[in-house]
Structure 1
Amino acid sequence: MSRRVAIIGVGWYGFRPVVEEASFREMMFEAATRAYEDAGGLNPRTDVDAFASCQEDFWEGIAIADEFAPEPIGGTLKPVFTTPGDGLQCVASAYMLIKTGQFDIVVAESHAKPSDIINMHDVMLFAMDPITIRAINTPNYHALAALEAQAYMTRYNVPREALAYVVVKNKRNALYNDRASYGANLTIDEVLNSPYAVSPLTKLDIAPFVDAAVVVVLAGEDVARRYTDTPVWVDGIHWITEDPSLEFHNWEFPIHAMKAAEVAYKMAGIQDPIKELHFAEIDARYSFKELQFIEALKLAPIGEAHKLLLEGAFDRDGLFPVNPSGGALGEGVPLEVHGLARLVDAVLQLRGEAGRMQLSKAERAVIHSWRGVPTTTSVVAVLSR
């Protein structure tokens, strides 16, 4: 169908290293309440047709954790489905439901409390498929990311200074972001001289965790303006999973992100992303990943992102701002909420409500999220005001 889909409300809660005052269910409720207020006082019981929740039992420490999803977001006795994936995948699912014409308003939700997870290392190692491939016994699950970083840097002659620049840029951007807990004024030398987590990644090259919940309200264009005067349109959205096997997927370049971007751009009618878009909010939970994803999203030629970066092209006041919010390195990684965090930052920019981090030109954006090591799943969306 040609029916357009709009984001008419967003709400969030947390984005702190530890949220002590609320359980994950209470965080969901708070984020949902804010999202419905943002959507013009929408009533979830009477106005919403379906709900989508992105979460993972391993993070919750509870089997069939999605049983806890409907009540806090107002979805009791309504259709509620769960995706064990990134929050942007739930937005994509909501988008498709509305495009069918059978649903007018669909809510997407994701939440995470990594501060409650006492065995994060064991959970991450279990994700590395110990059943069908030889077990990876490492004291640091970031080792896989470090190997990917080394492969990428070697293949394209990327200096460590470029990774440090990503850290400096994003943490400085985060100083303008009220949600960001990890903003800082750093120098490249301070990053290069900080302790290694696992070479070539220092501790500063790796985004820390935060607790957060985000709720997004989507609606068909024929009903969107009943609730808001500032709809943000989803012009294209797609996700791709590359071969997840550690032996067979590409370690030098994220093909999954490139393929997802190609489809999202085609849906949005984007021919030249750097000319037709104004900024990007992309996954940078590891500093080198920002460079990879810039290239995968066709914002720079493959192997050239580090050169443009060091020239300031991706700064807040550069040719094409990337992660003006500070991204994951500034805000932290709230597990499956990460894609929705990128979306919230983009929506506020497009509505002109980004406060101190507001860009001078923000009419169309690309957002991206990756599920993290060891996955090969990327989601890309094009948004416009």
Structure 2
Amino acid sequence: MKKVAIASVGVSGFNPTTPDVSYRELTYEAAVKAYNEAGIEPKDIDGFVVAAEDFCEGYSISDEYCPDQLGAVLKPVCTVPGDYLHALATAVMMIRTGVFKTVVVEGHSKLSNMKNHWSLLGFAMDPVLDRRLGESYRIIDGLEMARYLHETGTTEEQCASVVVKFRKAALKNPLASYGAVLEIEDVIRSDPIAYPLKALDVAHPIDGAIVTVLAAEDVIGDLTDKPVWIAGISWYSDSPSFETRELGYSPATRLAAKKAYQMAGIANPKGQIDLFEISDETSYKALIHAEELGLCRRGEAGFLFETGEFGPDGAVKINPSGGELGVGDLFEAKGGHKLYEVVKQLRGEAGSVQVEGATTGLVHAWRGAPSTSCVVAILKV
């Protein structure tokens, strides 16, 4: 089976609002950066994969509007209605077939186009059973957070410590929009959303685009002398039914991690992986994901974040970039941001947030309520 590596990643935007450009212009800017870094032209690329779900573009079937800005006119293009890492997995499989040698992955966010993206996403909830809970799907987050805290003994203060650590770390990241020095009480006293979830427990939206160039092992040397290998990648989806799934867990993350670890030869993730960029759309969800990735037992993550064992500067390096809470929520492209951060880390190019000596990193994405789809990728140099 062909090995697949990342040749380059280009990013643009990463601001709460980008009124001067459209999402297509953001994508074009990121694509130019990625192509220039890899020394490749669109005509030499075999295929393109885009992650999009028509939420923020302003029209339906938005994938039909992606070829121009990528240089993909009259090229094989497909769209994945999921996270950026779902599109990455699709591109990896395309290359492994042997039919494609180079594939580009694109994802973007233009949440500033949306007056209230929480309400719009509420249409993803079951119209008969769940949508009547309220106009925001954050109702589900609040219910899940309450159950997780109750069952594990985790405290609101421990969840708040996640916010404090990630937003402080983001102050060192030039891409971050929400770096801040906060106290636990600032988080606890922030406006309530759905008890016990509060405003500062939730990542705030940003606009941006990410474009990645992937290549097969027999051509990667033509594009870069710093390949980052995709050693393992897996994804799982749980039931979208709020009534039947187990709140306070993420079995899709657990299963995706198990498969990705197996593919990458990882038996001890804490000992073999140098940094973890995990989904932290909400503070409590970061704790659940750390547990489901096998970094600790259920109910222990809150204490480990609170005491500093876990975190950007901890013995277990989690979200040194500042995560979604510090950088911002890129919606469908959030996995692309995490991919970019780990690639920079493994190349020793992460600047002030660099984890010294990093050779292996984990990238994790969760689709967000009411979805339960999760992707885990292991990157190595």
Flag whether TM exceeds 0.5 (same fold). yes
Distance 2:312 2:271 in 1: 16
Query: Aligned match of 2:163 in 146, 167, 181?
Result: 167
Alignment partner, residue 300 of structure 1:
296
Q: Is the 8 A contact 1:236 1:265 kept in 2?
A: yes
Quote the offset at 1:108 in angstroms: 0.4
Q: Is the 8 A contact 2:137 2:370 kept in 1?
A: no
Quote the offset at 1:61 in angstroms: 2.7
Query: Aligned match of 1:371 in 345, 349, 367?
Result: 367
**CA displacement, residues 101-141 of structure 1 (integer Å, 9 cap, x when unaligned):** 1111000001120100124243211100215x353241443
Amino acid of the structure 1 residue aligned with 2:139: A
Quote the offset at 1:277 in angstroms: 0.5
Distance 1:242 1:83 in 2: 18
Matching of residues 1-385 of structure 1 within 5 Å: 1=1, 3-39=2-38, 41-45=39-43, 47-130=44-127, 133=129, 135-385=131-381
Amino acid of the structure 2 residue aligned with 1:17: P
Quote the offset at 1:58 in angstroms: 2.9
Distance 2:348 2:20 in 1: 31
Distance 1:377 1:141 in 2: 16
Runs of 4+ aligned structure 1 residues displaced above 3 Å come to: none
Quote the offset at 1:325 in angstroms: 0.3
Q: Is the 8 A contact 1:348 1:354 kept in 2?
A: yes
Distance 1:124 1:315 in 2: 30
Q: Is the 8 A contact 1:125 1:136 kept in 2?
A: no
Equivalent residue of 1:213, what SS? Answer: strand
Distance 1:91 1:287 in 2: 26
Amino acid of the structure 1 residue aligned with 2:303: K
TM-score, with length taken from structure 1? 0.97
Distance 1:112 1:193 in 2: 29
Q: CA RMSD in A?
A: 1.2
Matched positions, count: 381
Q: Which runs of 5+ in 2 are unaligned?
A: none
Q: Is the 8 A contact 2:148 2:154 kept in 1?
A: yes
Distance 2:189 2:293 in 1: 31
Q: Is the 8 A contact 1:209 1:332 kept in 2?
A: yes
Equivalent residue of 1:60, what SS? Answer: coil
Distance 2:237 2:359 in 1: 29
Quote the offset at 1:223 in angstroms: 0.7
Distance 1:64 1:124 in 2: 17
Quote the offset at 1:49 in angstroms: 0.5
Quote the offset at 1:193 in angstroms: 2.2
Q: Is the 8 A contact 2:123 2:131 kept in 1?
A: no
**CA displacement, residues 33-91 of structure 1 (integer Å, 9 cap, x when unaligned):** 0111121x21111x210000000123323121111111101111000000111010010
Q: 1:344 to 1:134 in 2, by over 3 A?
A: closer
Q: 1:310 to 1:121 in 2, by over 3 A?
A: closer
Distance 2:137 2:352 in 1: 36
